[in-house]
Amino acid sequence: MDTDTRIGSGDGRFPETRHSAIAAARSGTPADRAVAHESIVAAYWKPVYKYIRIKWKSSNEDAKDLTQGFFLRALEKDFFDGYRPEKGTFRTYLRVCLDAFLANERQASQRLKRGGGTILLPLDFTTAEGELQQIEIAQDDSPDRFFAREWTRSIFENALLALREECAAQGKQIHYDLFERYDLAASDARATYASLAAEFGLSSVTVNNYLASVRRGFRRIVIRILRELTSSEEEFRSEARALLGAEL
Amino acid sequence: MNKVVYGLLLGAVLGAFDGMTAWFTPAVRDQMMGIVIGSTFKGLVVGVCSGYFARKVNSLPLGILFGLVMGLFFAYLVAAMPDPSGKHYYFEIMLPGSIVGAIVGFATQRFQPATQRVAH
Amino acid sequence: MEWLSNNVLKHLREVSEMPDLPGVRYRLGEVLGRGGMGVVYRAHDLELQRDVALKVLAIGDTDSERMQREAQVLARIEHPGIVPVHDVGTLEDGRVFYTMKLVRGSRLDEYCRQPHPVPDLLRLFQRICEPIAFAHSQGIVHRDLKPANIMVGQFGEVLVLDWGVARVLSEPEPDGEVIGTQNYMSPEQSAGLNTDIDARSDVYAMGCILQGLVQKPAKPLRSIARKATAPERDRRYSSTVELADDIGRYLDGLPVSAHPESILDRARRLLSNNRTLVALILAYLMMRILLFWFART
């Protein structure tokens, strides 16, 4: 049963601060498209790799080749040109393309002909494989849910990398360290504000303020990445809800 | 009309009706007048008691129980008086009498005096 | 960087949309719920030393005007069944927030998961109709009535929430935009005919709620729900007051306007309303018949 309030057409007033990589991948100049493609790969390669490993039950080596193959094919064949924002989110479209690609590959068994085994994109599969060993996979995880969660993880990881760089550049290392100790710690190992204050030689109020400021930065970066990865206001809203609102 | 007057009237009417059913028993048909008067009086007393009880206690089950006990008690008093042949009709008088009492008890509990009805 | 476990991921999602509260008088607590438009947190008012509910736009939502409007609409309709707004403001990150009374209780859909006697549910339904009727009298149509937007307090009191998409009848609104929740939306809402929306649109939603409230409704109740959810507005109850009155008549064992009674229906209703009396009269008659039968034999 649909229990969510539906509000017709989007009428967003948030400033669009960043150009959409999705729009550029579909219609920009070749140089724009290459940059856009890079952004898409950065956000999606890990979810794609993990999805192939877990949901298509491929071996480590096969999954590496297929991930490379998928993104290269997307670039060569302009897969992303076919995306129509009015029909759904880019994330869903990409997963549908991926499923079709994998089904094709499996059927034709042409993986080796494509020159399998050669690393073409600089992707850190060792880390991704290591992460896979730690993933808690629920029995009832649908492909959609699995892909969405890994996509969230990938976006947050990218946002955290950007946040760390930003904090370092602005001389806010202590802010980031606090954030890492508090917000990136496992819930059972999370320190209290008071203990962090004692450890860092700050007052609890300052810890609170520093954390709020880093969280604000993190939120800003997540929104920026989401803007890049969506092509319309409506898609942005829907993905923001999926990223931040739905249950994991 | 208050609950006591209502109980009195209803008890009297139902008592009279109960008495009149004696007509179906040919053996006592010649004593109809006495039976109807006695039964009416019994119903009237039970009605007054039930009405008074309903004024004090607001409970349907208790009202029915009270009417039943009163009906049974007064019917016993009537049944305890032998007919000219010296025969006692305990069952024939007490059983219906108790149910009539229960009906009066029920009705007095349900009855809402006019002022209360407006307030409600 | 360390790998983000599901737990950390969940925590990050929560902190990403947490409102920044420095500069305002509230200290943030846990998430109480998420609506179509925003997230509701428990917050502590540091000045008045009391807990309040703080609603803030969800991070992906951009419609701060709608949120502000909700606060204004709520401020216009003061009723015990409508949560009062305490404060409206803007957070440092630009998101609009407002605080309201913290409601303790459970949502109607959660409340209904426990078994409740039908008359109790119907009386509850009548109480839900009251604040809605009041809002209608102020020219405001809720437009998104559903069990998730109704809270039942510890003592059976009801509160109608989420007035974010309410239609202020005095303000013109163009057709086209579809607002509401599927399964509770009147046909005029589904068709985006916003100029056609009036109290009867809420009557429709209340009819849908009634259908969900009572699992196996009696015939008159079914007729009441059917009348409330009639596709044509003119065939519905003209107000929630009329709807509540019909429910009241059903509860009192009286005929309801939505259900023309046959003689059989009427007899059945009278019988079921006077079960004790009928049982006593039958007991009397049985007794009499048995006594005559014994006397003859």
Our CA-based measurement puts residue C268 at a distance from the nearest CA of chain B, in whole angstroms, of: 20
Confidence of residue C5 (pLDDT cuts 50, 70, 90): confident
In contact, C12 and C4? CB cutoff 8 Å:
yes
pLDDT reported for residue C71: 80
Q: Is A229's Cβ below 8 Å from some Cβ in C?
A: no
pLDDT reported for residue C222: 93
Contact (CB<8Å) C60/A244: yes
pLDDT single digits (tens) B11-26: 999 999 998 988 887 7
Q: What is residue C107's three-state secondary structure? A: strand
**Rounded to the nearest 5°, which phi and psi values hold at B35?**
-65, -45
Scanning the structure block, which residue is given the tokens 């947490």? C18
Q: What is the distance of C-alpha A247 from the center of its chain? A: 16
C-alpha gyration radius of chain A: 20
Mean pLDDT of C53-61: 73
Q: Which residues of chain A have pLDDT under 50?
A: 1-2, 7-18, 116-117, 119, 246-248
Q: Locate the chain B residue with the closest alpha carbon to C287.
A: B96
- ipTM of the modeled complex: 0.86
Judging contacts by C-beta atoms under 8 Å, the chain A residues touching residue C60 are: 226, 236-241, 243-245
pLDDT reported for residue A15: 31
Return the number of CB contacts < 8 Å for B and C: 32
Among candidates C276, C287, C292 on the partner chain, residue whose Cβ is nearest the Cβ of B24: C292
In contact, C138 and C194? CB cutoff 8 Å:
no
In contact, A167 and A216? CB cutoff 8 Å:
no
CB atoms within 10 A of CB A227: 22
Which of 140-159 (A) contact C at CB < 8 A?
149, 152-153, 156-157
Strand order in the sheet with C85-90: C26-34, C38-45, C50-57, C96-101, C85-90
pLDDT single digits (tens) B28-43: 788 888 889 989 999 9
Q: Which residue has the higher pLDDT, A2 or B108?
A: B108
In contact, C109 and C148? CB cutoff 8 Å:
yes
Task: Report how far residue A102's alpha carbon sits from residue A106's, in angstroms, rounded to the nearest whole number.
Answer: 6
Handedness of CA A47, A52, A55, A59 (dihedral sign): negative
pLDDT reported for residue A14: 29
Q: What distances in angstroms separate CA A1 from CA A30, B36, C20, C146, C204, one per listed residue?
A: 45, 68, 34, 12, 17
Scanning the structure block, which residue is given the tokens 């602005």? A170
Which of 273-292 (C) contact B at CB < 8 A?
276-277, 280-281, 283-284, 287-288, 291-292
**Rounded to the nearest 5°, which phi and psi values hold at A116?**
-55, 150
pLDDT reported for residue B15: 92
Confidence of residue C141 (pLDDT cuts 50, 70, 90): very high
User: Mutate which of A1, A6, A225 to disrupt the C interface (most C C-beta within 10 Å)?
Assistant: A6
C-alpha gyration radius of chain C: 25
Among candidates C9, C34, C62 on the partner chain, residue whose Cβ is nearest the Cβ of A13: C62
Task: Report how far residue B81's alpha carbon sits from residue B65's, in angstroms, rounded to the nearest whole number.
Answer: 25
Q: Token pair for residue A133?
A: 């060993």
List C85's β-bridge partners, or say none.
Answer: C100
**Rounded to the nearest 5°, which phi and psi values hold at A7?**
-125, 110
pLDDT single digits (tens) C109-139: 999 888 899 999 999 999 999 999 999 999 9
This prediction has a pTM of 0.61
pLDDT reported for residue C61: 58
Classify the phi-psi angles of C139: left when phi > 0, otherwise alpha if psi is within -120 to 50, otherwise beta. Answer: left
pLDDT single digits (tens) C144-153: 999 988 999 8
pLDDT single digits (tens) C73-117: 888 888 999 988 888 887 766 678 888 888 888 889 999 888 899
pLDDT reported for residue A11: 34
Question: Which amino acid is located at B30 in the chain?
Answer: D
Contact (CB<8Å) A240/C58: yes
Q: Locate the chain B residue with the closest alpha carbon to C286.
A: B96
Contact (CB<8Å) C1/A161: yes
pLDDT reported for residue B86: 74
Q: Is C10's Cβ below 8 Å from some Cβ in A?
A: yes
Mean pLDDT of C63-75: 77
Contact (CB<8Å) A134/C92: no
Q: Token pair for residue A144?
A: 């959609």
C144 has catalytic annotation: yes
Contact (CB<8Å) A245/C60: yes
Contact (CB<8Å) C177/A8: yes
Mean predicted lDDT score pLDDT of chain C: 86
The 3-class SS string of A82-93 reads HCCHHHCCHHHH
CB atoms within 10 A of CB C140: 23
Return the number of CB contacts < 8 Å for A and C: 136
The 3-class SS string of B42-78 reads HHHHHHHHHHHHHHHCCCHHHHHHHHHHHHHHHHHHH
pLDDT reported for residue C131: 95
Contact (CB<8Å) C4/A215: no
Confidence of residue B8 (pLDDT cuts 50, 70, 90): very high
List C159's β-bridge partners, or say none.
Answer: C151
Scanning the structure block, which residue is given the tokens 């550029």? A24
